[in-house]
Copies of this chain bind each other. A is one copy, B any other.
Amino acid sequence: MEIRITDGRIISAEAGESIYEALKNIGIYLVASCGGKGVCGKCRVKIIEGRSRIEATGKLKKKDRDENIVLACQTFPEENILIEIPEDAKLVIGDKIAISKSRGLLEFLRSVEPVFTPPVKCTVLDLDPPTINDNISDLERIKKALDDKGIHGMRFSHDFVSSMSKALRDAKWKVNLAYSDNLEAFALSPAECMNEYGIAVDIGTTTVVLYLINCYDGSLFDVGMTYNSQMRYGDDVITRIVHATEGGGILELRDAVVDDINDMLLPILDKNGINRDDVVSAVISGNTTMSQLFWGLDPSSIREEPYIPTINIFPVWRAGTSKVRINPQAPVYTMPSVGSYVGGDIVAGLLASGMHRKSEIALFMDIGTNGEIVVGNNEWLITAACSMGPCFEGSGIRHGMRATEGAIESVKIDPATFEPAFGVIGNTGPVGICGSGMIDAIAELFFTGIIDQKGKFARDLNTDRIKIGDEGPEFILYRGELKDIVLTQADIENVIRAKAAIYAGVSVLLKEVGLSLDIVERVYIAGGFGNYLDIDKAIMIGMLPDLPKEKFSFIGNTSIAGAYLCLLSQKMRQEAEGISRKMTYMELSVLRGFMDEYMSALFLPHTNIDLFPTVKEAYNKRI
């Protein structure tokens, strides 16, 4: 039998095999925290054609069932079928782009520290077996050996001591002692067999990314990406904090994201044949609210004036406390935050950009569900944040998706025929559109006059690319065999609001420090875009300031990149804390002028087009 997917892929399924299993066999992983037992209700797919046997519907609502949504793990094709996989049911595992990008980081890291120093360190202890004349206790024997190595002040937990004596004897007194940066012993293993894997996790408001890393050679084993299930409680941090203040809300939010991490981790470990107990360190990177929720800490004071987080520089706690299913004793390092709306993801971003090490004044912009801006250099850093919504991460956009295989990432529209051409990540058929594709598309729609300065569709154009959909006019980017890919009026308005917020943030922050744009020697653009962002187009829609193109560096998901650096290097962890302490954090909401700047930026590119001289020139030329 065949299962066809609306993205064009066709896979074969054995009789008696569930859709979940058939997809998994060719490397399409669905979210399923229960591991395919029909319990969690997450592996939802829509049956468009064909007959299947449905064994159970679990937590599916009647509305879902009426729309032919089924649980893939409980549904068994009885003939050829056609299915659609909702974006939020997909796990992305083994992303090639991420793996190729990690190589640059690795080279940088090797230049900083020749030997990697993950949050778990190891030291081999070759102990003399006790005798009747050398009868000190097992723990004192370990302490003495550590003293001899110049390692003083180690702490030993009850868990450690409980298994210590047997481990020493099993290993015949030659052991590998694993301990954390802050000198907490956490495991003993026979000296010859210490497998050391670590994970770096970027908890975005919209997406969660996980790297599985070999801490010996720094290589990126595998990558997972999924949507943050906290989205069911709200699109942005504010609505989630509101949910957290309701009874049990904090734990719901924590469990949601920890489940997401475990959902990714399980198939990745499975696929690579790695035991969870061999994953012995973790770094978590996220904005302040995400980091606090990950640890189950009440985020409510983040939302209330004077906007105070519980914690900026996190102690190293254990994986068991977080419920992430790696070795429960593994130390978990949390990227330090700066303030309520500038979190560890931004500190990670700065670390990956390296701007905190250089004397040139740079502007750092992280474009995600939250937009964060940093200005400064190796001497000073100032930062602020604004809310953008999840559009650039593919959420809240009709055919939006993350910058993974099948995403339209660049668009060109013929000004005469209005026919679009586009580039797709992975050079496959298009499945949806990612952030950079949206920016391109809107710039082109604007430039070709299909939409006006306010982003509204022109009514009098002679093209069948514009049609009236359920929610107003929309532009057909791609006519698919099974479905079209469109950009709707609402999609465009979402993007314009997002770009206005970040542009206003940049303007206000520069004003606050009394700098003009031309002082800025470099602009780092971070965010979940693919490997392509057309700077000209981003300037054209007024998202980026109108600076010479060569000043811009597109640096991708720096939250995960910084987490990766910190997983492998104690020096990087120290620099991260230095960045956190050094950065001055401004509350945009209390800075006068932010709302004015935002309103002015709700146009393409801006109400004051003189701020965008190159756009003005190009636009005038066009006319």
Is A138's CB under 8 angstroms from B307's CB? Answer: no
Q: Which of B137, B158, B166, B301 touches A309 (beta carbons < 8 Å)? A: B137
CB-nearest residue of chain B to A134: B306
Give residues 289-324 of A contacting B (CB, 8 Å): 295-298, 301, 305-313, 315, 317, 321
Q: Mark A339-368, 1 if CB is under 8 A from B, else 0.
A: 110000000000000000000000000000
Hey, which chain B residues are within 8 Å of A131, CB to CB? 306
Chain B nearest CB from A214 CB (Å) reads: 28
A155: Cβ under 8 A from any B Cβ: yes
Knowing A132-B305, A295-B158 are in contact, say whether A165-B310 is a contact too (CB < 8 A): yes
In the bound complex, residues from chain B placing their C-beta under 8 Å from that of A297 are 161-162, 165
Chain B residues with CB under 8 Å of A156's CB are 315
Q: DSSP class of A's interface residues: helix, strand, loop or mixed? A: loop
Nearest-neighbour CB distance to chain B for A147, whole angstroms, equals 13
Q: In the bound complex, do residue A308 and residue B137 qualify as a contact, i.e. CB atoms below 8 Å apart? A: yes
CB neighbours of A340 from chain B (8 A) = 135
Q: Which residues on the B side are within 8 Å of A599 (C-beta)?
A: none
Q: Are A298 and B166 in contact, CB atoms less than 8 angstroms apart?
A: yes
When each residue 120-159 of chain A gets 1 if its CB lies under 8 Å from chain B and 0 otherwise, what string results? 0000000000111011111110000000000000011110
A311 B137 Cβ-Cβ under 8 A = yes
Residues of B within 8 A of A585 (CB): 135
Given A162-B296, A298-B166, is A139 in contact with B317 using a C-beta cutoff of 8 Å? no
Q: Are A310 and B590 in contact (CB under 8 A)?
A: no
Contacts of A590 in B (CB 8 A): 132
Contact A132 B306 (CB under 8 A): yes
Q: In the complex this chain forms, how many copies of it are found?
A: 2
A 477-508 binary contact with B (CB < 8 Å = 1; else 0): 00000000000000000000000000000000
Q: CB-defined interface of A196-224 with B at 8 Å, one 1/0 digit per residue?
A: 00000000000000000000000000000
Shortest CB–CB separation between residue A251 and chain B, in angstroms? 11
* Contact status of A135 and B315, CB under 8 A, knowing A161-B310, A310-B164: no
Q: Check A313–B140 contact: CB distance below 8 A.
A: yes
Least CB separation from A138: chain B residue: B310
Assembled-state Cα–Cα distance A130/B137 (Å): 49
Report how far A161 CA is from B169 CA in the complex, Å. 37
Chain B positions within 8 Å of A587 at CB level: 132, 135
Partner of A312, one of B136, B162, B306: B136
- Complex CA gap A155/B340 in Å reads 22
Contact (Cβ within 8 A) B307 A135: yes
Residue A337 interfacial (CB < 8 Å) = yes
Please tell me if the beta carbons of B130 and A310 are within 8 angstroms of each other in the complex: no
A312: chain B residues at CB < 8 Å are 136-137, 139-140
Shortest C-beta distance, A597 to chain B (Å), equals: 20
Complex: A359 Cα to B295 Cα, angstroms: 56
Q: Which residue of B lies closest to A305 (CB)?
A: B132
Contacts of A295 in B (CB 8 A): 158, 161-162
Shortest C-beta distance, A175 to chain B (Å), equals 15
In the complex with contacts A132-B305, A161-B297, A296-B162, A139-B311 CB distance below 8 A: yes
**Which chain B positions have C-beta within 8 A of A132?**
305-307, 587, 590
Using Cβ atoms and an 8 Å threshold, which residues of chain B touch A321? 158
Contacts of A169 on B, CB cut-off 8 Å? 301
Nearest B-chain residue to A311, judged by Cβ: B139
Is the CB–CB distance between B298 and A165 below 8 Å?
A: yes
- Report yes or no: A311 in contact with B158, Cβ–Cβ below 8 A: no
* 3 closest cross-chain pairs (CB), A and B: A137-B312, A132-B306, A139-B311
Ordered by A's residue number, 26 sampled pairs between the chains whose C-beta atoms are within 8 Å are: A130-B308, A132-B305, A132-B590, A134-B306, A135-B306, A135-B308, A135-B587, A136-B312, A137-B311, A137-B337, A138-B301, A138-B311, A139-B311, A139-B313, A140-B312, A140-B313, A155-B182, A158-B295, A158-B315, A158-B317, A158-B321, A161-B295, A162-B295, A164-B310, A165-B297, A169-B301
